Amino acid sequence: MAAERDELEPGAVEHYDDAHYYDYTYRTRTEDIGFYRRYVRQHGGPVLELGAGSGRVSLPLVEDGAELCALEASEAMIERARAKAKERLAPKDRERLTLVRGDMREFSLGKQFNLVLAPFNTLLHLYEPIDFARCFRCVAEHLAPGGRFVFDVRFPQLKELARDPDRVYRARPFKHPTLGHKVVYEEQFRYDPLKQVQHVTIRFKPGEGAPRRAKTVTVLLSQRQIFPNELRALLSLGGLELAGRFGDFSGRPLADDDLVQIVVARKSKA
């Protein structure tokens, strides 16, 4: 599939190479799962999830009874999702889950879905207009009549984008679940205003008690910033249009000071 043909940016890959750490970091993020569970219960499947990662959202949806196809580019993430499904799901539930390694910018699954989902900033790994056009065209092709495309992306925060790129932000040291020793966690932020991409350099430095041979691990995370009004134009590149927007996972309408944009789109009527 396209994952082999089109190179993914390092900033779309490195943060997801350690799927175990990903699950550890986001273990308390559950509000969005509740939102997607309610949405799928109300609207019904089958469901296609883009950038499904380690199955953080997919597995609860399958546990609820949904038939779900999880499309994911990272081998590490998909392997983790597979292992978790084997551990958590009964064999008969597992039959409703299909894991596909692929690229959301080009996929052809040979079926249509009532819901296409892209939870937790997955679409911020589309960097250029052509990436959005290709992805959204594929989404439109895979949406069944009356189907919806639902995703959440961060609402760009101007204060965050204006951060001094030389400033190092440190968090409290913690025991890294994969490295197995204490690390000092650092982040540095560099915003590219022409490309509208925020690059986050994450460093795990050996902390107190770390083995002498331990080295600093550096990881890049690059996220396209999608401004609310621009989103309409991006959706139209793939023949999609806005059907609704929320500003939090309780379903409150989007307001100008929200941190997240939860978007419901559908195929354009024209």
The residues binding ligand SAM (CB under 6 A) are 8, 12, 16, 51-53, 56-57, 71-74, 77, 103-105, 119-122, 125
Q: How far is the CB of 64 from ligand SAM (least distance, A)?
A: 16
Q: How far is the CB of 86 from ligand SAM (least distance, A)?
A: 18
Cis peptide before 211 (omega within 30 of 0): no
- Among 269, 252, 263, smallest CA distance to 148 is for 263
162 vs 259, which CB is nearer to ligand SAM? 259
9 vs 184, which CB is nearer to ligand SAM? 9
71 vs 210, which CB is nearer to ligand SAM? 71
Distance, CA of 104 to CA of 176 (rounded, Å)? 30
Q: How far is the CB of 182 from ligand SAM (least distance, A)?
A: 25
72 vs 258, which CB is nearer to ligand SAM? 72
Starting from the edge strand earliest in sequence, which strands make up the sheet with 143-154, in order? 97-101, 68-72, 47-50, 113-118, 143-154, 260-267, 240-246
27 vs 215, which CB is nearer to ligand SAM? 27
Q: How far is the CB of 216 from ligand SAM (least distance, A)?
A: 23
Distance, CA of 153 to CA of 119 (rounded, Å)? 8
Close Cβ partners of 102 (under 8 Å, ≥ 6 residues apart)? 1, 2, 3, 71, 72, 73
The amino acid at residue 66 is A
Q: How far is the CB of 15 from ligand SAM (least distance, A)?
A: 8
Distance, CA of 133 to CA of 136 (rounded, Å)? 5
